């Protein structure tokens, strides 16, 4: 268990940056826009996810380690017309 705690605190290295999600995505949620991080812009079979995506941004390598809350403040959700 102590090893797990150490792994969680490990700093992100340049090598690890390739494994981090590359895209910050705002999707249509049940109660409004919700932020997500994706490793690829994969819209699934038949691209069924495409209508759910409100906006996306390819993250620079130095921002890929940031949490969703930090990214959501940095890149606010798009305005959504509820009509």
pLDDT recorded at residue 21: 87
Residue 57 lies in a domain: yes
Domain assignment present for residue 58? The answer is yes
**Domain count within the chain:** 1
Contact 54, 80 (CB under 8 A): yes
Query: Does 83 fall in a domain?
Result: no
Indicate whether 15 belongs to any domain. Answer: yes
Tell me if 53 sits within 8 A of 27, measured CB to CB.
yes
Q: Is the pLDDT of residue 24 over 70?
A: yes
> In this predicted structure, what is the pLDDT of residue 19?
75
pTM above 0.75, yes or no: no
Report the chain's mean pLDDT, rounded to a whole number: 79
Lowest mean pLDDT among 14-18, 53-57, 62-66, 69-73: 14-18
Give domain status of residue 79, yes or no.
no
Is 47 inside a domain boundary? yes
In terms of residue numbers, what domain contains 55? 2-74
Comparing 55 with 14, which gets the higher pLDDT?
55
């Amino acid at each position: 268990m102590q090893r797990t705690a150490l792994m969680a605190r490990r700093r992100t290295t340049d090598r690890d940056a390739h494994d981090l999600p590359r895209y910050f995505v705002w999707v249509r949620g049940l109660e409004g826009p919700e932020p997500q991080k994706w490793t690829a812009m994969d819209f699934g079979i038949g691209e069924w996810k495409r209508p759910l995506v409100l906006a996306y941004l390819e993250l620079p390598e130095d921002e890929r380690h940031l949490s969703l809350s930090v990214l959501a403040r940095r890149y606010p959700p798009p305005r959504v017309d509820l009509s």
